[in-house]
Structure 1
Amino acid sequence: MEPIQVIHENWLTRRPNPKAVFVTLGMTLLVFVTSYFVLAGLFQADINLIASPEFVFEKHNYWRAWTTLLAHADSEHLISNAFLFIPLTFLLYGYYGAMLFPATGLVIGGFVNLIVLKTMPLTTSLLGISG
């Protein structure tokens, strides 16, 4: 009697979703374009996308907790973050799907920003995922 080989399937034994490349490119483009708008001051993005306790809690601009996730204050920081963002986006979407990334990541990121903003001085600005 020959031994039977049993392969246990899990998330990472499957091939990544073929759409992962397009989602990665799309999310990266979104972050780069948003950051360009902030850096260039286009459409007053440098004012309208940044979160601060004053804007979010006193002026009730809660959406800023989410828009600030996509923006960066300088190009060096943006490029250095891209080295981790691009492969991480590919892996998260490719193996776990849209519910984990970008959906859950953006929702949790916004709520984390709300918590962070509660601990910051009123006029201090929060920009980007890493602050």
Structure 2
Amino acid sequence: MEQVVWKRVRETWLSRKPSPLAGFISAVTVLILVIGAVCFWQGILHADQWMAASGEAVFQQKQFWRLWTTLVAHGDTGHLLNNLILFFVLGYLLVGYFGSWVFPIAAIFFGGITNYFVLLNYAPEVRLIGASGVVYWMGGAWLALYFMLDQKRSYVQRALRAGGVALGVFMPTSAFDPQVSYGAHLVGFILGVGFGLAYYFIRRTEFKKAMVYEYIVSEEDEVSTPEQEFSGDLSHPHTNRHGHSSWN
């Protein structure tokens, strides 16, 4: 009797639990943002004079550290709180699944790079403050990695999920605010997506080894067998004319 055997992904890298340290690391980085913001507001150690970044300070006075110190400077508590929620959640996911090299190290580094590109298009005297560029970088990196890793779902399903989150969470929904740096949002998100895709391909072999597959045999009970390597096609059935599961 001819049987059709379907092979599909049962578990991926994202099926595992996040690192138990994820919450702690994300909370510590949030605390650093809060402390930095308070120092900026209160002028502690004259932070209000050397934290914020502008084209004049960075490009003319060569104070490049401001590209990073300005990440913790915020205009007010509302500005800070708007960034903290997503900062914590995305930080938890990134460090939980991909380690501290992605968050906070890469996130903070690319936050400064984002500020560099944004300031190139601003008037020299305009100050750029806040962590929104980092938050959007984190969002872009997470969505790109999710799209590449969640292979239990089809490309269309993953695209709809990632696109829905991007539109619902990261697209501006209120009226235009001249105090908001939409350029930092856009540049950060693009850099984040690029990083996520590059990071996936760098660790692609490791990610694939974490995948577990199961076999579905038509007209019989489901057969589930873990497998660490795959050389077949997820979208096409295998035909077995001898009544046994077909393994690639």
TM over 0.5: yes
Distance 1:68 1:18 in 2: 30
Match in the other structure for 2:14? 12
2:89 to 76, 87, 90: 87
- Coordinate RMSD, CA, aligned: 1.8
Deviation of 1:10 (Å):
2.4
Percent identity between the two aligned chains: 37
More off after superposition, 30-39 vs 65-74: 65-74
Match in the other structure for 1:26? 28
Give the TM-score of the pair, scaled to structure 2.
Answer: 0.49
Match in the other structure for 1:105? 107
Distance 1:127 1:68 in 2: 5
Deviation of 1:98 (Å):
0.9
Match in the other structure for 2:226? none
Per the alignment, in what secondary structure is the counterpart of residue 69 of structure 1?
Answer: coil
Match in the other structure for 2:122? 120
Match in the other structure for 1:66? 68
Q: Deviation above 6 Å: which 4+ runs of structure 1? A: none
Give the TM-score of the pair, scaled to structure 1.
Answer: 0.89
Q: Is the 8 A contact 1:11 1:96 kept in 2?
A: no
Instruction: Map residues 28-67 of structure 1 onto 2, 5 A cutoff.
Output: 28-67=30-69
Q: Is the 8 A contact 1:51 1:127 kept in 2?
A: yes
Distance 1:108 1:127 in 2: 15
Deviation of 1:112 (Å):
1.1
Distance 1:84 1:90 in 2: 10
Unaligned runs of 5+ in 2: 133-180, 182-248
Equivalences, count = 128
Deviation of 1:56 (Å):
0.4
Unaligned runs of 5+ in 1: none
Relative to its length, the structure with more strand (as a share) is: 2
Deviation of 1:129 (Å):
2.6
